[in-house]
Amino acid sequence: MVENESRMAEKKNATPKKRAPRKRAPKKEALVAPEPRSESELPRVPRGDLDRLLAGEFANPHEYLGAHRATVNGRAGVIVRALIPNAVRVECLLDDGEVYEMEREARGLTDLYSAFIPNATLPLAYRFIFTYADGATWNRGDPYRFLPTLGDVDLHLFNEGTHRELWKKLGAHARTEDGVQGASFAVWAPNARRVSVVGDFCGWDGRVFPMRVMGSSGVWELFLPDIDAGSLYKFEMLTKEGAIRVKTDPFAAKMEQSPGTASIVEREDAYEWGDTAWMKQRAAADPVHAPISIYEVHLGSWARVPEEDNRTLTYREIAPRLCEHVKRLGFTHVELMPVMEHPFYGSWGYQVSGYYAPSSRYGAPDDFRYFVDTMHQAGIGVLLDWVPAHFPKDDYALRRFDGTALYEHEDPRMGEHPDWGTLIFNYSRNEVRNFLVANALYWVDEFHADGLRVDAVASMLYLDYSRKAGQWLRNKHGGRENLDAIEFIKQFNEAMRLECPGAMTIAEESTAWPGVTTPVSDGGLGFTFKWNMGWMHDTLSYFAFNPIHRRYHQDQLTFAMLYEYSERFIMPLSHDEVVHLKGSLLSKMPGDEWQKLANLRLLLAYMFTRPGKKLMFMGTELAPYTEWNHDTSLDWHLRDNAAHAAMERYVTRLAHVYRETPALWREDASWDGFAWIDVADRDNSVVSYARRGGDSHAIVLLNLTPVPRERYRIGVPHSGTYTRVLSTDDREWGGSGFDAFESVNSDPSPFHGYDQSIEVNLPPLAALVLTPSR
């Protein structure tokens, strides 16, 4: 038995948390005696149903509990039944103040009480007063007098896998039913024999609030009066084998932090957004033809509070600080490593236990809304990492949710990930696909996220991903493709396209799978962008070479252009490249300190000037010596070092040049936007290319050695004056300042296939960006 199940088992016989009785209205009789009963006329619960009800195994408690029309001794009225353990007295309190004492009708694991109220009609408003042996009382409403909070259409769409707002129906929702405030609960557990809502409001006793199953949908539902926002709850399930499973809500909007694992009822629709202008322009945006530079962030380690035991910042604390920093740097978006609730901080968020809950380690859901709102009002987009590929084995969450492999596969060859020790979603189930697709829409709809970067897509596409022969099963055609996962990905991308115009979907996909960014209608997977992992690996490998050897590896630097337009790419220099003993980007660069910094500036310039959108991990602007550590803050103290402070100024200039130069981004996805000028000068390790965007263009030269190249000539597309808009060798960011010319005029000397050419002095380990003067 897991820890939380043990805790709840210990409380099975505990007295529920009591509430003060409602003040009773004046009445004619202090107490109405129970109506005399005739055994022949009293409505009875059939023996079989009664046994299951008392044993906590009845799937439709509303059939007998609550208020029902009845005739006793020839008199019409209503019979009210209550199921409650441990009480010594039960009373039914009507709205008019009359109190009916209820008699114990049957006894079992719990007790069944009933009272006949003559001349009463439905609907009937009433409450219960439970009295316990210690004299404590509990005054509460009756969950079993309310109609279902789910409709047939909702259930049909869910079972079909197409409910686009599923989070509004399943889970816990504070609401008012028939004028009574409380919370509705709904959970999918098709293989459970009984499901109960348990929480701090009932002593975590699963006998108190059994739920009803909604037909053949597998969904269980219950409305609980008097439940307030902030209440802790879980679902207790009786499995087919008779075991008890206590689970957090898969749709919980908020969850406890360790060691607690309960879900928390959260108030809804309370936040007032201030990003209307941003959301309006996003709906009409075209990210493919826009500048996109992404600053990747881990919220727990961007900055900390050393004076307070090195604690992390909250959503509201980090929002203005991160916003100011990113805006000053000039990046267009932040991308947050997963903020969905995760029990293990060291997973960085990639082992999610609460898919619908922003991590409460940083604050409440509305606090996260404030974070996004702050970014949007400053003109910064927010992308979220999303993990539909796998989930952890924590027993209080999705694993064997109703006692069976519900969200995962039963067969470990399909259901377990060998690398991460996690479980793989069963994409063949409509309800599982709906859970995930609705989750994607939820983050964009409820939190105004501007897109999702989907983690580990390659692991979803291939049945043999990271598996040896005999450890995987072929698909129905005999192949290695995961057909169900492919259909899920297409469904997800189509739902995002239709429901969230302007929002992006980004694939972290490391193989040569074709059509990742091709529209679904044309046979592709439908992503907006794909991470260019091949470019990243080849480029970092090239830059690790001593410059004297780079002439032999120039193809490694330029190879990515051979497949550049097979997809729409983002170039990532992400967290994955600066962890697990890989070192920081600065430490990967060869040479002495000056050369390392120069190489890093050159690497970033290459990324920002070649085709594709840009992603840079937080802290790169500080050029740290050590790799990223999720348990500490970024090395902000490096700002006190002149060379590292200069690097931050350089990154700021580079990002602004990128945004201000349409030729560097407008035609990223087309050969019209790029042309090599000279890719073959291996002896000098110099590469040059032109970027185009409409009528504008820019010239980029990369000198990849520490040897200056004087009077270096390249062809240019047009005659006239070319202005230097960026040199990575400027003294302002720690360069040598070699021949810091401002502009150069072309001359009619044909070169590199162009009628015009220019002659410049190339600084060492540096990039130049030139644009024609207007």
Longest dimension (CA), the chain: 114
Q: Around Cβ 607, how many Cβ atoms within 10 Å? A: 21
* Mean pLDDT along residues 358-382: 98
Q: State the pLDDT at residue 12.
A: 41
Look-up: residue for tokens 């809500």? Answer: 249
The Cα 618–Cα 614 span in angstroms is 13
* Mean pLDDT along residues 249-278: 96
Give the number of residues written for the chain: 774
Could you please report the per-residue DSSP string of 22-76? PPPPP-SSS-BPPPP--TTTS----HHHHHHHHTT--S-GGGTSEEEEEEETTEE
Alpha-carbon distance values, 206 to 49, 86, 243, 435 (Å): 18, 13, 13, 25
Give me Rg for the CA atoms of the chain: 32
Strand 451-454 to 422-423 pairing: unpaired
Tokens of 675: 């042309």
pTM: 0.93
Query: What confidence tens digit (pLDDT) does each residue in 342-368 have?
Result: 999 999 999 999 999 999 999 999 999
Instruction: Give the pLDDT band of residue 339 (cuts 50, 70, 90).
Output: very high
Q: State the pLDDT at residue 23.
A: 38
The Cα 384–Cα 297 span in angstroms is 10
* Mean pLDDT along residues 207-215: 97
Could you please report the per-residue DSSP string of 261-280? --EE----S------HHHHH
- Is it the case that residue 32 has pLDDT exceeding 90? no
Strand 529-531 to 569-573 pairing: parallel
Query: What confidence tens digit (pLDDT) does each residue in 275-296 have?
Result: 999 999 999 999 999 999 999 9
Strand 743-745 to 696-703 pairing: unpaired
The Cα 655–Cα 605 span in angstroms is 9
Region of poorest pLDDT, from 387-396, 411-420, 638-647, 760-769: 411-420
The Cα 120–Cα 70 span in angstroms is 10
* Mean pLDDT along residues 457-481: 95
- Contact predicate 209/216, CB 8 Å: no
Q: State the pLDDT at residue 269.
A: 87
The Cα 127–Cα 139 span in angstroms is 7
Alpha-carbon distance values, 402 to 56, 209, 751 (Å): 16, 17, 72
* Mean pLDDT along residues 598-610: 98
Look-up: residue for tokens 């030269």? Answer: 701
Residues of the chain with pLDDT > 70, as a percent, come to: 94
* Mean pLDDT along residues 373-390: 98
The Cα 754–Cα 770 span in angstroms is 16
* Mean pLDDT along residues 427-446: 98
Instruction: Give the pLDDT band of residue 10 (cuts 50, 70, 90).
Output: very low
Active site residues: 455, 508
Nearest CA among 552, 453, 462 for reference residue 508:
453
Q: State the pLDDT at residue 740.
A: 83
Look-up: residue for tokens 């997809």? Answer: 567
* Mean pLDDT along residues 41-51: 87
Query: What confidence tens digit (pLDDT) does each residue in 570-598 have?
Result: 999 999 999 999 999 999 999 999 999 99
- Return mean pLDDT, the chain: 94
Q: State the pLDDT at residue 397.
A: 97
* Mean pLDDT along residues 497-520: 97
* Mean pLDDT along residues 672-694: 97
Q: State the pLDDT at residue 634.
A: 98
Pseudo-torsion of CA 558, 562, 565, 566, nearest 10°? -130
Residues of the chain with pLDDT > 90, as a percent, come to: 93
Secondary structure in 3-state letters for 615-665:
EEECCHHHCCCCCCCCCCCCCHHHHHCHHHHHHHHHHHHHHHHHHHCHHHC
* Mean pLDDT along residues 706-712: 96
Q: State the pLDDT at residue 28.
A: 35
Q: State the pLDDT at residue 41.
A: 59
